[in-house]
């Protein structure tokens, strides 16, 4: 299957600082990328959907000013957690799809980023 | 009622057993179905992808979709300790985002 690379895999930051997480599709053009948050032993919670070159669509309850998403190219999306607080500590996962002419193709996931805010 | 329901487990089976993992859903518009495997602290890995009803087999894995009952299953034959993970079902309607089940934790005991 296609490869999605997410970086970093683990980050520890101080409260009040910002953290950027990158998600890259390595062998296909990701017209649509998704950012999820996952709490321990729980399923994926969709935070936002982004299409290349346009603003992200955030799910209800997700603060767009806190979780900045940029999908500047067909192979790269970034999630920036601004002014991080301990409650932002979580596992963040991106996924990418090439929706192109084929809707509902498989979604391929990155390896995830474990964020710990101290 | 949640849009997608899945028994959270944990499910423990002996090595070599046949495992049945199931999801039910309420949205009759769903027609794309996927199963993911997620190891601890890793991103989900796509196992099976099916469109509409029917069966699909890939090695030890078989995915079944019964749209009339709004029920999907993943069968694992000859289960191995390396199959121990959380299994997530996901589904969507045409052009819509995928909705995930809560995941079932599986332990295959040697």
Q: What is the DSSP string of B11-72?
A: EEEETT--EEEEEEE--TT--EEEEEEE-TTS--EEEEEEESSEEEEETTEEEEEETTTTEE
Q: A9 CA to chain B: closest CA distance, Å? A: 9
Question: Cβ atoms within 10 A of the Cβ of A33, count?
Answer: 29
Tell whether omega for the bond before B107 is within 30 degrees of 0, i.e. cis: no
Is A56 at the interface with chain B, CB within 8 A? Answer: no
pLDDT at residue number B53: 84
Chain A residues with CB-CB distance to B87 below 8 A: none
Chain A residues with CB-CB distance to B98 below 8 A: 107
Q: Which tops the pLDDT comparison, A16 or B39? A: A16
Please give the residue of chain B at the shortest CA–CA distance from A110. Answer: B43
What average pLDDT score do residues A5-16 get? 95
Report d(CA A19, CA B22) in Å as an integer: 37
A44, B44 in Cβ contact below 8 A?
yes
* Tens digits of residue pLDDT in A71-88: 888 899 999 999 999 999
Report d(CA A7, CA A115) in Å as an integer: 11
Give yes or no for residue A6 having a pLDDT over 80. yes
Tokens of B69: 């009952």
CB contact under 8 A, A106 and B34: yes
Tokens of A4: 């999605």
pLDDT at residue number A36: 94
pLDDT at residue number A101: 52
pLDDT at residue number B1: 65
Q: Give strand pairing partners of A60.
A: none
pLDDT at residue number A51: 84
Report d(CA A57, CA B21) in Å as an integer: 32
Nearest to A112 among B42, B95, B101 (CB): B42
Report d(CA A102, CA A118) in Å as an integer: 43
pLDDT in tens, chain B (110 residues): 678 999 878 899 999 999 999 999 999 999 999 999 988 878 888 899 888 888 999 999 999 999 999 999 999 999 999 999 999 999 988 877 788 888 899 999 99
* Residue B61: exposure state from Cβ atoms within 10 A (0-12, 13-18, ≥19): middle
What average pLDDT score do residues A27-51 get? 86
pLDDT at residue number A100: 55
Give yes or no for residue A107 having a pLDDT over 80. no
pLDDT at residue number B95: 73
pLDDT at residue number A14: 96
The residues on B that touch A, with CB distances below 8 Å, are 32, 34, 36, 41-46, 49, 51, 88, 90, 92, 94-95, 97-98, 100-103, 105
Tokens of A34: 């998704």
Torsions phi, psi for A113 (to 5 deg): -130, 120
Around B6, how many Cα atoms within 13 Å sit in the side-chain half-sphere?
30
Average pLDDT along chain A: 88
pLDDT at residue number A44: 85
Chain pair A-B, CB pairs under 8 angstroms: 48
- For testing the chain A interface, which of B43, B91, B99 should be mutated: the one with the most A CBs within 10 Å? B43
Report d(CA B102, CA B25) in Å as an integer: 12
Give yes or no for residue A53 having a pLDDT over 90. no
């Amino acid at each position: 299957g296609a490869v999605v690379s997410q970086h970093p895999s683990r980050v520890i930051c101080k409260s009040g600082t910002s953290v950027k997480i990158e998600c890259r599709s390595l062998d296909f053009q990701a017209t649509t990328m998704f950012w999820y948050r996952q709490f321990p032993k729980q399923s994926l919670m969709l935070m936002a959907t982004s299409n290349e070159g346009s603003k992200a669509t955030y799910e209800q309850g997700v603060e767009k000013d806190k979780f900045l998403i940029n999908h500047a190219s067909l192979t790269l999306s970034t999630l920036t957690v601004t002014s991080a607080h301990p409650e932002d500590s979580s596992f963040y996962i991106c996924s990418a799809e090439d929706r192109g002419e084929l809707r509902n193709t498989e979604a391929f996931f990155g390896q995830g980023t474990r964020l710990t805010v101290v | 009622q949640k849009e997608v329901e899945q028994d959270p487990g944990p499910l423990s089976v002996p090595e070599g057993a046949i495992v049945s993992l199931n999801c039910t859903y309420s949205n009759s518009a769903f027609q794309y179905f996927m199963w993911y495997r997620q190891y601890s602290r890793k991103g989900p890995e796509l196992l099976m992808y099916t469109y509409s009803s029917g069966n699909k087999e890939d090695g030890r894995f078989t995915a079944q979709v019964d749209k009339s009952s709004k029920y999907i299953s993943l069968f694992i034959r000859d289960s191995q300790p390396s199959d121990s993970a959380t299994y997530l079902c996901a589904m969507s309607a045409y052009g819509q985002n995928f909705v995930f089940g809560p995941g079932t934790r599986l332990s295959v005991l040697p």
